[in-house]
Amino acid sequence: MFFKDNIYKRIYKKIKEYDKIVIARHVGADPDALASSIALRDVIINTFPDKKVYTIGFPASRFKYIGILDKLPEKVDDALLIVTDTPDYKRIDGANPRDFAYSIKIDHHPFVEKTCDLEWIDDKASSASQMIIELIFNTKLVMTKEAAEKLYIGVVADTNRFLFYYTTPKTFGIMARLIADTNIDITGLYESLYMRSLKEKKFQSYIVDNFKVSENGLAYILVEDEALSKYDVDAATARNMVSEFNYIDEILVWAIFTVDKQNNNIRGSIRSRGPIINEVASKYNGGGHIYASGARVANSEELEKLVADLDKECFDYKAKEKQD
Ligand code: AMP
């Protein structure tokens, strides 16, 4: 009888076939993007010590505890590219799938466009890290304790400690097995992910104090450079703080914006606990998940438009809730 190879086997076969493998992820690295790509490299090397495996992308200093990155090798037309956590071409950090002999996408974002020869997309997965664990559990790839630690961090960060709706029984099942199999110290891992300086905690209060909150439940702030220096935080850390403001009664959608001087625009991280936000974000050079998105606007006029669109989503959501 003919059994169609499952996706795990198809990916494993390609990993086995290529001696040179490059792993990439999205720009603006976050713990899930870093953990999924770095842990996959380490597990492939652990399983096939003779292969040359590189994880590339611009480093993020505040997440350096997740692991080190490599330089893209000079010649890649004989290599396999695996892209984790990235739905579209423009967000792949430092590699073009077309330059490689073969390419694979492993991603949990809603589909945006086909970028790779083989694509495993599961937008019900909590994180790309969860998908990498699943891949390892279902193939002959051999997990290491260090990789398990990174992947645990990736899942915890992307689910915000299992708070988000895409934390499913499958997520808990996979995490339970990961902990049981590798005996990782999860409390120690939380420390690296959640330890903050007092100044940074005070900055959190600054954000709450300075959020502009609309009647419809939109909260947003454009953090000026003065505030960043006063509280000694960088722009990426400020935006990353967006996860801290869930479950505020009056707030349905919230966003933190910072000025990107280098690119002469304004970047934002947006979160929601009801209204769908990724469609609005995609109109403003952005995208992401239905309740977790990012966007880039050219100036404060465009920022106002984005804010108005998000506010409308809140209004419509509330109106619909009243009807139901
Ligand atoms: P962030 O707010 O940067 O944590 O991003 C939240 C989600 O939105 C992640 O899945 C990102 O990959 C995605 N995202 C962030 N910025 C953009 C952007 N400019 N374009 C498309 N997706 C984005």
DSSP string, 20-68: EEEEE-BSS--HHHHHHHHHHHHHHHHH-TTSEEEE-S---GGGGGG--
Ligand 1 atom 12 nearest Cα: 288
Q: How far apart are CA 251 and CA 272, in angstroms?
A: 9
- The least confident of 1-15, 43-57, 237-251, 280-294 is 1-15
Q: Is the C-beta atom of 26 inside 6 A of ligand 1?
A: yes
Q: Is the C-beta atom of 294 inside 6 A of ligand 1?
A: yes
pLDDT of residue 324: 84
Ligand 1 atom 16 nearest Cα: 294
12 — phi, psi (to 5°)? -60, -40
Put residue 217 in one of left, alpha, beta given phi > 0 → left and psi -120 to 50 → alpha.
left
Q: Is the C-beta atom of 289 inside 6 A of ligand 1?
A: yes
pLDDT at 283 over 60: yes
CATH no. of 199-323: 3.10.310.30
Architecture of the CATH domain 7-193: Alpha-Beta Complex (3.90)
Q: Is the C-beta atom of 296 inside 6 A of ligand 1?
A: yes
Which residues of the chain form CATH 3.90.1640.10?
A: 7-193
pLDDT of residue 5: 66
Of 293, 296, 303, the one to substitute when testing ligand 1's pocket (max ligand atoms within 8 A of C-beta) is 293
Q: How far apart are CA 60 and CA 54, in angstroms?
A: 17
Which residues of the chain form CATH 3.10.310.30?
A: 199-323
Q: Is the C-beta atom of 87 inside 6 A of ligand 1?
A: no
Rounded mean pLDDT, 301-311: 98
Distance in Å, CA 90 to ligand 1 centroid:
12
Task: Kindly list the distances between the CA atom of residue 42 and the CA atoms of 37, 49, 120, 174, 237, in Å, as whole numbers in the listed order.
Answer: 9, 10, 20, 19, 27
Dihedral angle sign, alpha carbons of residues 46, 48, 50, 56: negative
41, with CB counted inside 10 A (0-12, 13-18, 19+), is: buried
Percent of the chain with pLDDT over 90: 95
Ligand 1 atom 10 nearest Cα: 288
Measuring CA to CA, which residue among 51, 110, 134 is closest to residue 276?
110
